[in-house]
Structure 1
Amino acid sequence: MSNADAGSTHQQHPIGTYVKVWILLFVLSFFSYLVDFFHVQGVLRWGLILVLMVLKAGFIVAVFMHMKWERLALISAIVLPPLAILVLVAMMGAESGYVHDNRIEHFAVAPLK
């Protein structure tokens, strides 16, 4: 098979898909801006920012990096390790409260009388 044959079998994705995702990314960025504009504070602020950030990153990876059209094995090889790291970080976060309380209980200095 020559280079001309290999080039002719290249799949072309519709431009409308890219435009729709670009507009969706613009809308998600606008919502991210609104979080700051309305002075949302606390856990709600960081939750909204993280959710919007993950959505934008997911759309960028899926469409602009062509992961939407890849095989499941390749998608799993790229997506599963970060998910495993997130699970481990969540487990460490849950464990940190126990470790902190245990250190306070065992290493606290007795008050002077």
Structure 2
Amino acid sequence: MTQASPGGEEAQHPIKLYLVVWGGLFVLSTFSYLVDYFNLQGNLRWSLILLFMIMKAGLIVAIFMHMAWERLALIYAILVPPLVVLVFVGIMVFESDYTHLTRVIFFGAQS
């Protein structure tokens, strides 16, 4: 993929960049598999899996989708909506506990 420089010339990204990112993705995938290999359980397991997944997605979006070289407005247009959705999901999680509690109180434990 070429990128226009200010002088009007085309500049290409070095192949080393893509190889380093590919290596980083390989290492992150290895860590993700090691979480299962070492039989980690509970919140630690899911936190690590999600962390590695987000890091891999970030590398892919930044380098292979060329977001690292895009305008800030385009980056905001692509990255802000998923972050807003995550905020709404968090709000729904707190709201679901309240809704469940009010239903238990209202309907009671009927046997």
What TM-score do you get using the length of structure 2 for normalisation? 0.88
Alignment partner, residue 67 of structure 2: 67
Provide the identity percentage: 58
Alignment partner, residue 94 of structure 2: 94
For structure 1, the residue ranges without an aligned partner over 5 or more in a row are: 1-7
CA deviations on 1:28-86 (whole Å, 9 max, x unpaired) are 00000100000111111111101100000000000011110100010100000000000
Q: Which has the higher strand share?
A: 2
Decide which structure has the larger Cα Rg and report it. Answer: 1
Alignment-mate amino acid for residue 14 of structure 1: P
Alignment-mate amino acid for residue 58 of structure 1: G
Alignment partner, residue 53 of structure 1: 53
Alignment partner, residue 3 of structure 1: none
Alignment partner, residue 19 of structure 2: 19
CA deviations on 1:9-42 (whole Å, 9 max, x unpaired) are 3331111111111111100000001000001111
User: What is the number of equivalent residue pairs in this alignment?
Assistant: 104
Runs of 4+ that moved beyond 4 A: none
For structure 2, the residue ranges without an aligned partner over 5 or more in a row are: 1-7
Alignment-mate amino acid for residue 104 of structure 1: V
